[in-house]
Amino acid sequence: MPDSNYMIAALEIMAFAFIFVIGLIALVIVVVFTLDITQRKHAIRRNYPVVAHFRYAFETLGKFFRQYFFAMDREE
C-alpha cells in the first residue's frame, strides 16, 4: 500500500502548511497591534488597535453603501 503512505505524507504537509499560515496571520496581527498601541499620531488606531484599519476601507465603501443600501429610490 504505497499509495496510502503518499496520502498520509501529503496530509501531514498540508496540516503543517495550515498551522504555519495560521501562525503567520497571528504574528502579523500581534505586530500590527503593537505598532498601533505605540504610535501617537492617530487616536483611533491607539484606542482600537487592529479594528481601526477597517475604518479606511469602510470610508471608501461608504458611497457604495449609501447608494445601494441606505438611500431611497428618489433620494440623491
Residue 76: is its pLDDT beyond 80? no
Determine what percent of the chain is predicted with pLDDT higher than 70: 87
Select the more confidently predicted residue: 43 or 13: 13
What mean pLDDT comes out for the span 27-37?
95
Specify burial of residue 32 (Cβ count, 10 A radius: 0-12, 13-18, 19+).
Answer: middle
- CA gap 48, 60 in Å, rounded: 19
| pLDDT at residue 66, rounded to an integer | 75
Average pLDDT over residues 41-62: 87
- The pLDDT of residue 4: 76
